[in-house]
Chains A and B, each alone.
Chain A
């Protein structure tokens, strides 16, 4: 998570208008869902990964490791699609050709779709999405809440990490039963501290005139139409290729 966040804030395309990334990525996603997966899938996967690595300058290793988690889920789940259960005489498990085909198609499609989304998460920090979220009609309160939670995740992640380190230093995780106990204590203290933190944050915000809404300046990005047009053309070409091959 830390790595994703780090790259989202520092990649080459960080300052591009979020729409310039969102529209091509979503279009590619729609194509992978609509077209025959075995044709468009590899193309979309390659295209999205290429854009992430060569375009936005994110290390290939990071891009792949982001794909690794969903790939693992796929690996765990998909084999069952290839297996069918029969109850003719007794009951038996069979690999069916259709099942195998289905499993393959599902994995390719899912992986390609995930690569489109991971392109977005790796190139655009959460804060940049807020103007778009507001524009599509999500209430200000919800958007503020999203941003606040985003910020506090890091505060508490750090607390949890240092808390764990402190417990480890006093051998809190040296045995299974101690580990369970330490983890419980840590969790409890984190709840308590988050309440305290919330109260102090409210004082801090009140000092700056907080009166119910967390309004801040929105990031300003200029939409480059030529860039968007190019990106959409490329996505279109990928789509055509996937259709004709």
Chain B
């Protein structure tokens, strides 16, 4: 078995003030997966993400990158951050250059690429997020959603193997979320591993193929999305509520005594299943 892309084993982290943010945390990020780290607001998800690219160093425990223990010297960190891209929740914390194109070029130039190569990377990243037309726009004139995509493009231009996003959909409207998820889906299809930290159970359910429930500095359970989210005990301990779609599907299964109800992953699928169901039943009234 090949080593996971990134693994955190028994990680503790105590803030300089003495606040313990992580204790004995285990997390595995397998290559090519979409992993959602689910936790309530203020549970320390951001602290956890900052460990994924070496911004914070654990006070105890081990982090393995492709099976290798990480080091915190400049050489290793440079390589680490090339492989693991971290998109912060606030785009304002990342965007510093005057235009979007310039901002996106920052990472590639730090990788030591030539001007020509950097230019290509910028075009590629902007295309991936469908924001080519913003290349020469002044950063401060963008809308929040555009800033968010520009910030992601800045990370993407470094072609990371793993893209970690902190609350990627926070502050976006439904259209913005759909647009962003679409772009992320394409990245995933192209082979990127995605990790996102969120408190949005519905998003995790619709989107992730693996979920890690994070609460008070530890991962309570990590595993396949549907199985973990259906674990009522773990979910309530983490102060999370199972997704509506899952609850609804369970209810329907109980009411109908139907074995074949597969929990739908999106509202479109649920609606289609219901419609099919109602047509099949005709006047028989099954789920009334």
Q: Which residues of B contact A134 (CB under 8 A)?
A: none
| Contact of A61 with B by CB under 8 A | no
Contact B103 A216 (CB under 8 A): yes
| C-alpha gap A207/B94 in the complex (Å) | 9
Q: Is the interface of B mostly helix, strand, loop or mixed?
A: helix
| Contact of B45 with A by CB under 8 A | no
Contact B81 A205 (CB under 8 A): no
User: Of the 9-residue stretches A64-72, A110-118, A150-158, which lies at the interface with chain B?
Assistant: A150-158
Contact B102 A217 (CB under 8 A): yes
Q: Which residues of A contact B96 (CB under 8 A)?
A: 148, 151, 201, 204-205, 214
| Contact of A126 with B by CB under 8 A | yes
Contact A208 B107 (CB under 8 A): yes
Q: Which residues of A contact B94 (CB under 8 A)?
A: 201, 204-205, 207-208
CB distance from A13 to the nearest CB of B (A): 14
Contact A203 B74 (CB under 8 A): no
CB distance from B6 to the nearest CB of A (A): 15
The residue that A216 contacts in the complex, of B85, B105, B151, with Cβ under 8 A, is B105
List the A residue with the shortest CB-CB distance to B140. A154
| Contact of B43 with A by CB under 8 A | no
Contact B88 A200 (CB under 8 A): yes
Q: Which residues of A contact B136 (CB under 8 A)?
A: 219
CB distance from A196 to the nearest CB of B (A): 10
CB distance from A201 to the nearest CB of B (A): 6
Q: Which residues of B contact A209 (CB under 8 A)?
A: 78, 81-82, 107, 110-111, 158
List the A residue with the shortest CB-CB distance to B103. A216
CB distance from B87 to the nearest CB of A (A): 8
CB distance from B270 to the nearest CB of A (A): 37
Q: Which residues of A contact B107 (CB under 8 A)?
A: 208-209
Contact with A along B38-68 (1 / 0, CB 8 A): 0000000000001001010000000000000
The residue that B88 contacts in the complex, of A154, A203, A215, with Cβ under 8 A, is A203
Q: Which residues of A contact B140 (CB under 8 A)?
A: 151, 154-155
| C-alpha gap A156/B106 in the complex (Å) | 22
Q: Which residues of A contact B81 (CB under 8 A)?
A: 206-209
User: Of the 9-residue stretches B114-122, B224-232, B252-260, B276-284, which lies at the interface with chain A?
Assistant: B114-122
Contact B155 A211 (CB under 8 A): no
Contact A217 B118 (CB under 8 A): yes
Contact A203 B50 (CB under 8 A): yes
Other than the known A204-B93, A206-B81, what 13 A-B pairs have Cβ atoms closer than 8 Å?
A127-B102, A151-B97, A151-B98, A197-B93, A203-B50, A203-B88, A203-B93, A208-B110, A209-B78, A211-B110, A214-B97, A215-B109, A217-B118
User: Which A residues are within 8 Å of any B CB, using their own CB?
Assistant: 5-6, 9, 125-127, 147-148, 150-151, 154-155, 197, 200-201, 203-211, 214-217, 219
Nearest 5 interchain pairs by C-beta: A209-B110, A127-B98, A154-B140, A204-B94, A217-B105
